[in-house]
Structure 1
Amino acid sequence: MLSLVACAVGIVTPQASGAEQPNVVVVFVDDMGWSDLSCFGGRGPTTQHVDRLASEGIKFTNFYVNSPICSPSRVALTTGQYPQRWRITSFLNNRASNQQRGMAQWLDPQAPVLARQLQAAGYATGHFGKWHMGGQRDVDDAPPISEYGFDQSLTNFEGMGPKLLPLVKTPDRKKPRKIWSDAVRLGGPPVWKLRSHITEGFVQSAISFIDEAQRRKKPFYVNLWPDDVHTPLYPPLDRWADNRRGLYEGVLDAMDEQLGPLFNRIRRDEDLRDSTLIVFCSDNGPENHVGSSQPLRGSKGWLYEGGVRSPLIVWGPGLLAAGVAGTTNDQAVLSAIDINRSLYEICGVALPAGEELDGEDVSETLLGKASEGRQAPIVWRRPPDRPGFDQTSEEDNPDLAVRDGKWKFYVNCDGSEWQLYDLTTDFKETTNLASGNPDVSQRLHDLAMEWNAAMPADSGVAKAPSGE
């Protein structure tokens, strides 16, 4: 068995009951860079509502998502498993494109899903925002979001079920017009709202869902997954700009503003404040020259740090350890699959019987009661449609990557182009130490190859040749 996989087969976690079951809200932003938030050193707008969340919670600076692109990143957070297991290795597109890239058409409903286990344990479960794990373009026979354990959902044009769809206007064209209007055939009823206020629409629905769960005295689990700050960029007209970075900053500022009522709804209710955990992060790095992961190398689609390292904030005044509010954990290496696994523990619900989760239980660290990260390495595979060159050094986008302790290692599937960086001293990934550390490089090479051989192949990355 692969040494890097954390197994949890048939384990049953004692279920918490009644007031002991905490509420959970997972905010998963779309295409936001590691350093876009002002509390993570961003030089754009002051993201005051998210910054306040950080000042009252814990920031984690060594948190990773499990893919540098949206659909597989979402699968990892949803299942607690590497998305390659489910053959979702890049963004889900139209049927022909998915097939050409060797991908599934949607996430198999038989996959282990945290929301389903929480639902079975008595939680009210809601998904509000982008889904993108099945049901988009001409893929109109994907399972509805309800089949994955959600009582209620409202999504955008990339999911099955009730829709919140955008109207757009610009300074030159102030009459609102519809975009992605054909998405209504993927479920309804549709609600149309200005693209600059779409996050507000998802937030309003989430707050109504929380109100009803509280009225029914049920713990709740809420996904709030905005399609901000993904392109196309349509900020409010009073924040319009004549360049993409300026437009992006306008959308980021508006998103932060529109998230405020959700955070305040929970913060200002004593019962919710003491029993709710908010987890805030991004699904992958930013589009190149739009968002920012400076000074990290790379961006969306790339396995370098800027493509897979995400800001992470965990908030919960009644659940976090005393004295940790406003602190930063810059030591623990964590990933999205660990968030999934840890929420089972925090909520006291059973793990899916007979399933193998790749995430590790780091719940004590997320709650500020410990500082250690995951023990096993994290492994990534390049999305099959993302070959190319790094924007700064013109090196190939590597096929595989491994983070193990202080080391980040890259290699192609044919065994070429070894890169090794010590991220404790070189988090910008500027000095390749592979030749000077042959034992470390060989070990991580072998680990990456073993992992890749154990995962279903896609069209972009072949198995290693025999003998590797």
Structure 2
Amino acid sequence: MNRINKLFLIFVLGLLSFYTYAGEKTNILLIFIDDMGYGDLGCYGNQDVHTPNIDRLANEGIRFSQFYVNSPICSPSRVAITTGQFPSRWGVTSYISGKKDNKERGMNHNLNIMAPSVARNLRNVGYYTAHIGKWHMGGGRDMADVPLITEYGFDESVTQFEGLGERYLATYETLNLKDSTRGLEKQSAALGRGVVHWAKREKFTGIFVDRTIAAIKNAQEAGKPFYINLWPDDIHTPLEPPLELRGDLSTKARFLGVMQEMDRQMGRLFDYLRSDPELYKNTLVVFTSDNGPDMAVNKAGVLRGYKTFIYDGGIREPFIVWWPSQIDQTKNGSVNEKTVMAAIDLPLTFMEVAGATPDPGVEYDGQSMLEAIKGEKEILREKPLFWIRPPDRPGYDGENNPDLAIRLGDFKLLMDVDGSNVQLYNLMKDVSESNNLVEEMPEKAVELKKQLVQWYNQYPHDIDKTKYNM
């Protein structure tokens, strides 16, 4: 065999090896709904909503009853699920707004480009990466001088007014409601730095599903496994369902309409995955939400609190895993009620799935939950979880929304930064956080309080009660 033939053979074998390797890799799709509460899905007990496609996903996979995001508001929650670290490490403790607002609240304008990124880690081991939908970790309002989404490790991106790069901006032609008027869309268009498309707000989830399917096809054409963020901005207000789903235009009717339309669009995507044998065999879908419900719109089921609160209603979310090739069929439709899992766990979990190496020298705050999401084990969490209340959200109508919280084992402690307002709950016995055990279990309260104070003092934060008239 001559040298040219040998080189050609090596090339062909290498190509075959690459495609076999790519085919064996697990595709990962992370669906991160916006402002959906713990009790907003049929499979989590809501009898009013119509979510058959999401419920079917749960029936074909595993639901978790104790999954937490790491902030009760959008931007820091998204930082945590991207980095595997508590968002306060990066100076993001509330939603990212304009430059003046951010400065007043002690906030950074964007996620530091040097922060860990699960997409970057997966791309380094051959994954095709895409971000589709809401970003809200920099860009928008009056900020054009921040990194593009693709600079965080994505091969492609498309977003809405909370990010830069290619984006869809909403027109509000379908409803003439007070909450439908936003100058933020025009602000975003004026920033440039990406192709701008305009579309009716009611079309957005369908557009993002279309773009997700297109990204899957791009990955297949490249012969690569994919990691895709699908982060819709439903069910965040303004609530604009299609004409046939608007009902009487009340907030409840519009909420139910948006939920139904969001579920319909998710169903299109899930059916697409099921229809392709390779996708069905090799795809992991994780479905959850970024924070608890808007107090004016929806509820967190039996949980206490809403969006912006660090009671469980603001931070505990539905969590569904669909992974046909790895979850034993006997586990389909089951509920993991013991594993306490968090958004900061997902980057390490996805890296283990993908065979990617965590960044050297980075202290990840989460832990891999691979055995739990495969249904092999109910993992008892070893690491504590911590939360900081968004500094600009002290509570509603004079109610004191505690500043800090820790969960360790069955117990959760909340308190203010000055050491007052201490509350201790056994969440396995008191899921609604109604029976304060501080007087009954003072030693447990002291133990958790000490850990919480130590953690809080490690990272940037701004909980200044005098500044916000608390």
- Both proteins in one fold, TM over 0.5: yes
Task: Give me the whole-angstrom Cα distance separating, in 2, the residues matched to 1:171 and 1:27.
Answer: 27
Residue type matched to 1:397 in 2?
A: N
Residue type matched to 1:154 in 2?
A: V
Aligned 1:271-286 pairs, distance under 5 A = 271-286=278-293
**Residue 203 of structure 2: which of 197, 203, 210 is its match?**
197
Question: Is 2:299 the counterpart of 1:292?
Answer: yes
Question: Is 2:151 the counterpart of 1:147?
Answer: yes
Residue type matched to 1:289 in 2?
A: A
Give the structure with the higher percent helix: 2
**Residue 56 of structure 1: which of 53, 60, 65 is its match?**
60
Task: Give me the whole-angstrom Cα distance separating, in 1, the residues matched to 2:215 and 2:249.
Answer: 38
**How high is the TM-score relative to the length of structure 2?**
0.91
Deviation at 1:378, TM superposition (A): 0.5
Residue type matched to 2:441 in 1?
A: N
- Mapped contact 1:245–1:289 kept (Cα < 8 A): no
Distance of aligned partners of 1:187 and 1:317 in 2 relative to their CA distance in 1, 3 Å threshold: same
- Mapped contact 1:382–1:399 kept (Cα < 8 A): yes
Residue type matched to 2:321 in 1?
A: V
**Residue 423 of structure 1: which of 420, 423, 427 is its match?**
427
**Residue 186 of structure 2: which of 167, 181, 185 is its match?**
181
| Correspondence for 2:212 | 206
**Residue 333 of structure 2: which of 316, 326, 331 is its match?**
326
Question: Is 2:258 the counterpart of 1:251?
Answer: yes
Task: Give me the whole-angstrom Cα distance separating, in 2, the residues matched to 1:461 and 1:407.
Answer: 26
Aligned 1:80-159 pairs, distance under 5 A = 80-159=84-163
| Correspondence for 1:69 | 73
Residue type matched to 1:182 in 2?
A: Q
Q: Output one character per residue of 1:224-269: Cα deviation in whole Å (capped at 9) or x when no partner.
A: 0000000111111211133212211111111111111111111111
| Correspondence for 1:387 | 394
Question: Is 2:313 the counterpart of 1:309?
Answer: no
Task: Give me the whole-angstrom Cα distance separating, in 2, the residues matched to 1:246 and 1:280.
Answer: 24
Deviation at 1:279, TM superposition (A): 0.4
| Correspondence for 1:340 | 347
SS of the aligned residue for 1:170 comes to coil
Which has the greater radius of gyration?
A: 2
- Mapped contact 2:67–2:341 kept (Cα < 8 A): yes
Deviation at 1:171, TM superposition (A): 5.6
Task: Give me the whole-angstrom Cα distance separating, in 2, the residues matched to 1:172 and 1:299.
Answer: 27
Question: Is 2:447 the counterpart of 1:443?
Answer: yes
- Mapped contact 2:130–2:215 kept (Cα < 8 A): yes
SS of the aligned residue for 1:61 comes to strand
Task: Give me the whole-angstrom Cα distance separating, in 2, the residues matched to 1:239 and 1:262.
Answer: 20
Task: Give me the whole-angstrom Cα distance separating, in 1, the residues matched to 2:85 and 2:192.
Answer: 27
Task: Give me the whole-angstrom Cα distance separating, in 2, the residues matched to 1:25 and 1:69.
Answer: 22
Task: Give me the whole-angstrom Cα distance separating, in 2, the residues matched to 1:323 and 1:39.
Answer: 18
SS of the aligned residue for 1:454 comes to coil
Deviation at 1:461, TM superposition (A): 6.9
SS of the aligned residue for 2:236 comes to coil
Distance of aligned partners of 1:384 and 1:368 in 2 relative to their CA distance in 1, 3 Å threshold: same
Residue type matched to 2:434 in 1?
A: T
Residue type matched to 1:157 in 2?
A: F
Instruction: Point out the more displaced range, 263-272 or 236-245.
Output: 236-245
**Unpaired stretches in structure 1, ≥5 consecutive residues:** 1-15, 463-468
Residue type matched to 2:241 in 1?
A: P
Deviation at 1:172, TM superposition (A): 5.9
Q: Output one character per residue of 1:316-367: Cα deviation in whole Å (capped at 9) or x when no partner.
A: 1012234211111111111000112111111111111221100111111011
Distance of aligned partners of 1:24 and 1:247 in 2 relative to their CA distance in 1, 3 Å threshold: same
| Correspondence for 1:221 | 227
- Mapped contact 1:167–1:178 kept (Cα < 8 A): no
Deviation at 1:190, TM superposition (A): 1.5
Residue type matched to 1:451 in 2?
A: W
| Correspondence for 1:236 | 242
SS of the aligned residue for 1:27 comes to strand
SS of the aligned residue for 2:172 comes to strand
Deviation at 1:288, TM superposition (A): 0.3
Q: Output one character per residue of 1:341-398: Cα deviation in whole Å (capped at 9) or x when no partner.
A: 1111111111112211001111110111111142111110111101124x7xx64110
Task: Give me the whole-angstrom Cα distance separating, in 2, the residues matched to 1:234 and 1:115.
Answer: 31
**How many residues get paired?**
442
- Mapped contact 1:383–1:460 kept (Cα < 8 A): no
Residue type matched to 2:187 in 1?
A: D
- Mapped contact 1:171–1:237 kept (Cα < 8 A): no
Task: Give me the whole-angstrom Cα distance separating, in 2, the residues matched to 1:279 and 1:460.
Answer: 36
SS of the aligned residue for 1:455 comes to coil
| Correspondence for 2:358 | 351
Task: Give me the whole-angstrom Cα distance separating, in 2, the residues matched to 1:447 and 1:178.
Answer: 42
